[in-house]
Structure 1
Amino acid sequence: MRGLELHGRELSRLAISEITTFRWSFEEDLQHYQAAGISALGIWRQKLTDFGADRGVELLLHRGLRASSLQWAGGFTGSEGGTHDESIDDACEAIRLASALGAPCLILHSGSRGIHTHKHARRLLRTAIDQLLPLAEALQVCLALEPMPREVGTDWTFLHDWNETLGLINDVGSEHLRAVLDLYYWGNDEKTLARLPELAPKLTLVQLADARQPPQLEPNRTPLGDGNLPLHSITEQLTAAGYHGYFEVELMGEEIEASDYHDLLRRSQQFFDRLPTT
């Protein structure tokens, strides 16, 4: 599996998700991230598609930047309006795009349970994974399942806890199926925090955010350091437990929308430099 091999701080583990700089275009993201000294970014498919996928891959490589992830594919339960086969075809296209970008992982959202029983929704997801894995393994792209708490994530996924998510990953038994840990959703969940040493080997991406309140349907993320999530302790535990991937800053909400993006990049970088990630 394509991974992030680091020696000291030779390569920074900091990445910025393009969702954070929502108002900027793909081209502006690359320009401004590079100017800020940020060398990796989480690619948002919508921005890349708007710019042109082939042109975008070429520009990313030309600038010498790295992709930390590609976001997203999924909707295997039909929640996005397509058929099961259409969602799998789209995910195959996304895997190929992630490979072209050099992204270590493709984030997957299962789709909501909708009208299905939980058992049937799980079967739809498992069938999709089984069909996607041969391509993902051949192209060295990790499929990254993203669980979300039930209170805020039912439109995106039926994976609402770590027991089911890890159970599925372990049942499949491939190094190319892992999970995403978004700290906005799980950074104040005591049960999750107690399992960080167990989770670390199963993660392919950690998304950094801060918050003053529990997760809401309308995201209320804050700049790193402005909330109350124990980010220092979390990153320390994950690193000690063997997590060696990117820490990808993903911020959104009213406060972020009103922010100066250049200042937000600078503050994110300064905060990250104080975290124990080596």
Structure 2
Amino acid sequence: MTVKQLSMPELVDTCGQLGVTNVGLWREPVQSYGLEATAKLMRDAGLTVTTLCRGGFFTAIDPEERAKALDDNRRAIDEAATLGTEVLVLVSGGLPAGSKDLHGARERIADALGELGPYAEERGVKLAIEPLHPMYASDRCVVSTLSQALDLAERFPARQVGVTVDTYHIWWDDTAPAQIARAGAGGRIHTFQLADWTTPLPEGVLTGRGQIGDGAIDMREWLGYVEAAGYRGAIEVELFNDGLWARDGREVLAETAERFVAHVMR
């Protein structure tokens, strides 16, 4: 999504030129290009798909809506397996229209995880609950902290359910480092993602993720937390940014790689 303006072949070609060997994919461009075609393209290029994003949106009260969400998540798990990734990232869902019941919404997430966890395990896929910044709690994700995400995940085996650690969403939380240690001790850090926090936020906050190095987050500090917790997996950069999307995608990908070296690598 950082370079969503690139086609799948352009993405693969640019990754090859830059020496990038891992890529996190989103379902929409995969479906647009074709699931099997994308899987073959990645295999032929020697690219490892680190995660697929996104499943989730489990909080509906209406039984029919809930059934549709579960069916869609089963499809997402199957897509992840076809792409050869072990991790499906989950955005859990906001409050249903007219509801103010955060507790009930979180319990419906747990119910969905109970149904989907075994299905995912059978296909070699792990579910990664991503806590989103509290400003998204009403409409996108009632899971706002790593503590809340782990309280849900720990009801299930770590081989089924863990968490996503995303700097953009948790950098403000002074309890997050301890929760990263908690997640690591349980083997539940399933992916680690980077984006910077810049101000002022744009009017559409969803597309306000800053390029690495442009904002307030010390990326090496957060890398230190996940490494101390035992995480040795891929590190993803996920930027929703209208300004970056308006530029040449090859240039943006090259810049992102340069920023990663400058602000993340030790």
Q: State the AA in 1 paired with 2:13.
A: Q
Residue 173 of structure 1: how far off its partner (Å): 3.3
Q: Distance in 2 between matches of 1:80 and 1:122?
A: 15
**Counterparts in 2 of 1:50 and 1:79: CA distance versus 1, 3 Å:** farther
> Counterpart of 2:168?
184
Deviates more, 1:39-48 or 1:263-272: 263-272
**Counterparts in 2 of 1:150 and 1:81: CA distance versus 1, 3 Å:** farther
> Counterpart of 2:230?
242
Deviates more, 1:211-220 or 1:137-146: 211-220
Identify the match of residue 167 of structure 1 among 139, 151, 160. 151
**Counterparts in 2 of 1:202 and 1:111: CA distance versus 1, 3 Å:** same
> Counterpart of 2:119?
135
Residue 272 of structure 1: how far off its partner (Å): 2.6
Q: Is the 8 A contact 1:184 1:215 kept in 2?
A: no
* 1:110 partnered with 2:92: yes
1:171-218 per-position Cα deviation (integer Å, ceiling 9, x unaligned)? 223322001111112123333245432344421111111222387734
Q: Is the 8 A contact 2:158 2:188 kept in 1?
A: no
Q: How does 1:58-97 map to 2 (within 5 A)?
A: 58-78=40-60, 83-97=65-79
Q: Distance in 2 between matches of 1:47 and 1:81?
A: 29
> Counterpart of 2:254?
266
Identify the match of residue 213 of structure 2 among 212, 225, 241. 225
Tell me how many residue pairs correspond in the alignment.
Answer: 260
Residue 165 of structure 1: how far off its partner (Å): 1.3
> Counterpart of 1:26?
8
Secondary structure at the counterpart of residue 189 of structure 1:
coil
* 1:53 partnered with 2:30: no
Q: Distance in 2 between matches of 1:69 and 1:169?
A: 18
Provide the aligned C-alpha RMSD in A: 2.5
Stretches of structure 2 lacking an aligned partner (at least 5 in a row): none
Deviates more, 1:209-218 or 1:236-245: 209-218
Q: Is the 8 A contact 2:147 2:179 kept in 1?
A: no
Residue 100 of structure 1: how far off its partner (Å): 1.2
Q: Is the 8 A contact 1:181 1:205 kept in 2?
A: yes
**Counterparts in 2 of 1:169 and 1:240: CA distance versus 1, 3 Å:** same
Deviates more, 1:181-190 or 1:33-42: 181-190
Deviates more, 1:212-221 or 1:48-57: 212-221
Secondary structure at the counterpart of residue 155 of structure 2:
helix
> Counterpart of 2:21?
39
Q: Distance in 2 between matches of 1:220 and 1:127?
A: 32
User: What's the % identity of the aligned pairs?
Assistant: 26
Q: State the AA in 2 paired with 1:207.
A: Q
Q: State the AA in 1 paired with 2:9.
A: E
**Counterparts in 2 of 1:167 and 1:120: CA distance versus 1, 3 Å:** same
Q: State the AA in 1 paired with 2:153.
A: I
Residue 120 of structure 1: how far off its partner (Å): 2.7
Q: Distance in 1 between matches of 2:220 and 2:159?
A: 28
